[in-house]
Amino acid sequence: MDAIQQNLLEQVAGLHEIPAGAYNIRANGQMAGRNTTANIDIVTKEDKAGIDIRIKPGTKSESVHIPVVLSQSGLKESVYNDFYVGEDADVTIIAGCGIHNGGSQTSEHSGIHRFFVERNARVRYVEKHYGSGDGSGERVMNPTTEIHLAEGAYLEMETVQIKGIDSTRRVTKAEVGRGASLVIKEKIMTHGRQSAETDFTVNMNGEDSGVSLVSRSVAKEHSRQMFRSRIIGNASCHGHSECDAIIMDEANVSAIPELTANDIDASLIHEAAIGKIAGEQLMKLMTLGLTEKEAEEQIVNGFLK
């Protein structure tokens, strides 16, 4: 792996070296490394690009890293990864994709991740997207995440896109079973002429299921963002979605929340706020000696932390 790919790997997965535990590293469409453990198996799909990750029931405190890096300009790929998480397992899954585009052609990665989380299993899923390179070619990333939570299962998804992705359409669909809960935390920053579209659909199918969707974003310069969330309560459940955006410069942000209750005991809440940085926040930090630009950076970094 070259220095560019190693830098991407560090950005998206925080990896300086080969990770402990199970991993599968994909570089420019090829497998660049894989490790399995006694409890976690990774198998290449035969019918299409991608892998199946099988985590045995009862696996505790193990992690799986599946980073993807693209440094070849013009490469376009769709990758299908399926995660099967056995009953009572408790694992951390770190995905992430970095694109370095130094050329003039569009580089594109579409990752389709499906999670089948069995009874009472717990998953922490971290996904980071990052782009670099000064070529004129676009860096495009379209992640799709499909989540199936069985009774009592729990999945927490942290998804972050802070830099360098020109265009993204992020689709997340979930089915939440009885007593299961889903937590999604999304952080996005766009600048230049980038566009980011987020689309969540969560079906709350089981009694006492719960979902919390929190999106925080900053749109700078001429970038555009669209946040759409749909929560459908088909049983007694608690659903909460929150979209909080800072708009700057000439940017454009839309938030479209949708709540549907098909059960009298479905309790659903949506909060959305879009606004510029409050003048008094800038002023306060300036009275502490920061310049306006420094104050703005502090506020944005804190907001997306």
What does 218-267 look like in DSSP terms, one character per residue? EE-TT-EEEEEEEEEE-SSEEEEEEEEEEE-TT-EEEEEEEEEE-STTEE
Residue 56 or 185 having the CB closest to other proteins: 185
Query: Taking the complex as a whole, how short is the minimal distance between the CB of residue 137 and other proteins, in angstroms?
Result: 33
For other proteins, the closer CB: 80 or 303: 303
If DSSP states are collapsed to H, E and C, what string results for 213-228?
Answer: EEEEEEECCCCEEEEE
Give dist(CA 84, CA 86) in Å, integer: 6
Which residue, 61 or 302, has its beta carbon nearer to other proteins? Answer: 302
For other proteins, the closer CB: 199 or 244: 244
Q: Which is nearer to other proteins, 18 or 273 (CB)?
A: 273
- Minimum CB separation of residue 304 from other proteins in Å reads 7
Name the residue nearer to other proteins (CB basis): 261 or 277.
Answer: 277
Shortest separation between residue 275's beta carbon and other proteins, angstroms: 12
**Residues that bind other proteins in the complex, under the rule CB under 8 A:** 216, 244, 278, 280-281, 283-292, 298-299, 301-305
Cα 162 from chain centroid? 11
> CB under 8 Å to 17, separation ≥6 — which residues?
none
Nearer to other proteins, 259 or 290 (CB): 290
- Which three-class secondary structure state does DSSP give residue 300? helix
Least distance in Å: CB of 216 to other proteins?
8
Helix axes 292-303, 279-287, angle to 10 degrees: 120
User: For 74, which DSSP code?
Assistant: T
Min dist. Cβ of residue 36 to other proteins (A)? 38
Nearest-approach distance from CB 238 to other proteins, in angstroms: 20
Please provide residue 293's backbone torsions phi and psi, each rounded to the nearest 5 degrees.
Answer: -65, -45
CB of 294 to other proteins, least distance (A): 8
H runs (alpha helix) in the chain: 3-13, 279-287, 292-303
Rounded to a whole number of angstroms, the minimum distance from the CB of residue 267 to other proteins is 22
For residue 62, the surrounding DSSP H or E stretch is: strand 60-65
Total residue count of the chain as it appears in this document? 305
Tokens representing 201 are: 């659909």
Contacts of 102 (CB under 8 A, 6+ apart): 71, 73, 133, 134, 135
CB closer to other proteins, 265 vs 292: 292
